[in-house]
Amino acid sequence: EAQVTQNPRYLITVTGKKLTVTCSQNMNHEYMSWYRQDPGLGLRQIYYSMNVEVTDKGDVPEGYKVSRKEKRNFPLILESPSPNQTSLYFCASSLIGQDEQYFGPGTRLTVT
């Protein structure tokens, strides 16, 4: 089944404790992206990647890192999480040129 998977689905952590949210797709998509969704602000793009070893900042990249060492994986790294990073995070992927984005189920992160 074609899908985008994220892990973990739920995470509660404390300020400053490094964490990684994994994202994996099995559709051989070149493009992958991370978004955060907050009430009243909608979805905002954090980082995106157009292919292996190619990443770019989205609208809200501060406090986040990403890497794209393999085509299927695009982890989101929070080196020192803060409470303002409490949010619902989505990973998405698509074929370049085909454009239809496929979204993962979301990761709800709480930073206390």
- Tell me if 29 sits within 8 A of 95, measured CB to CB: yes
Query: What is the residue type of 51?
Result: N
Q: Which is nearer to other proteins, 12 or 14 (CB)?
A: 12
Can you give the binding site for other proteins, defined by CB under 8 A? 4, 31, 33, 35, 40-45, 48, 50, 56, 58-59, 90, 92, 94, 96-97, 99-106
- Tell me if 7 sits within 8 A of 21, measured CB to CB: yes
Least separation, in Å, of the C-beta of 45 and other proteins? 6
- Tell me if 110 sits within 8 A of 21, measured CB to CB: no
Least separation, in Å, of the C-beta of 16 and other proteins? 28
How many other C-beta atoms can be found within 10 angstroms of the C-beta atom of residue 88? 14
Least separation, in Å, of the C-beta of 19 and other proteins? 20
Query: What is the residue type of 39?
Result: P
Q: Which is nearer to other proteins, 38 or 70 (CB)?
A: 38
